[in-house]
Amino acid sequence: MASPLTPSRAPAPVLEEAIVLCGGLGTRLRPVVSDVPKPMAQVAGRPFLDYVLAFLAAEGVRRVVLAAGYKAAVIEGRYGPRWGELKIAYSIESEPLGTGGALRQALERLEGGAGVVVNGDSLLLAPMAPLAGPLAAGAALVLTACRRADAAGAGVCELAGDRLTGFHSGAPGEAGLVNAGVYALRRDLFADLDLPPAFSFEREVLEALASSLDIRVVISAADFIDIGLPDTYTAAQGLLAKVADPGG
């Protein structure tokens, strides 16, 4: 079986930097993983973050900022300044900043003007290249959405063309597009936004500012692997056991 960590094409890389959000406390996963940060949970014999980094490298990313908080030393101890061909930098929270505060701080560690953002506890096996076009065309932010057959309780994207205009809570049995947690954005995204030191990127930027920011949506049908809950963590063991060694 071909590894899904290996892209089917080899385009010239466009977005060469990425931020991986690794700072969550992982409270929902504590019944099965309690001694390490959630992205470091063992999946098929390796930390899950290995697979995330391997996929980013395969997509042309050359430098990654790991935005860590809880037990950050465990992450730094494994990856150091370089992992395989990836250069690694760190953005460490001295206190909880929420997803938004952590992202804003990590953006300051980018060397270029834009980057990809992913979560350290999930992996969407979708090409990164489609995110670059809307960003180059002037979008403030590009969001990847996946279609869910039953989006009950999830935030369903509302669109005008490919532009995000808002969200609504999915009703039982309603199909809809939901945020996959993969973005491309500019380093200066937060420069003109009046936000507190700690805030939720999802609530206070994506939801609150959807009508005022130019947020574009790219739809993906790619496989999505998540380890945030005990049952999805168990499912990931079988899925990634079929994947070739991610290296590092």
Distance CA 36, CA 40 (A): 6
Kindly state whether residue 122 falls inside one of the protein's structural domains. yes
182: amino acid identity, one letter: V
Q: In the predicted model, what is the mean pLDDT of the chain?
A: 88
| pLDDT value of position 10 | 35
Kindly state whether residue 247 falls inside one of the protein's structural domains. no
- 232 has a pLDDT exceeding 80: yes
Kindly state whether residue 1 falls inside one of the protein's structural domains. no
Least confident of 11-15, 181-185, 230-234, 242-246: 11-15
| pLDDT value of position 240 | 85
Kindly state whether residue 152 falls inside one of the protein's structural domains. yes
pTM above 0.75, yes or no: yes
Distance CA 15, CA 131 (A): 9
Q: Are 165 and 143 in contact (CB under 8 A)?
A: no
Mean of pLDDT values over 97-107: 96
Kindly state whether residue 173 falls inside one of the protein's structural domains. yes
What is the three-class DSSP state of 144? strand
Kindly state whether residue 7 falls inside one of the protein's structural domains. no
Kindly state whether residue 246 falls inside one of the protein's structural domains. no
Where does residue 243 rank: exposed (0-12), middle (13-18), buried (19+ CB within 10 A)? Answer: buried
Could you tell me the residue range of the domain that residue 155 belongs to?
17-240
| pLDDT value of position 233 | 87
| pLDDT value of position 9 | 39
Where does residue 125 rank: exposed (0-12), middle (13-18), buried (19+ CB within 10 A)? Answer: middle
Least confident of 27-31, 103-107, 151-155, 169-173: 27-31
Distance CA 145, CA 39 (A): 22
- The β-bridge partners of 90 are 66
**Structurally, how many domains does the chain consist of?**
1
What angle do helix axes 72-79 and 48-58 make, rounded to 10 degrees? 50
Q: What is the CATH number of the domain that holds 75?
A: 3.90.550.10
| pLDDT value of position 3 | 45
Kindly state whether residue 4 falls inside one of the protein's structural domains. no
- 53 has a pLDDT exceeding 50: yes
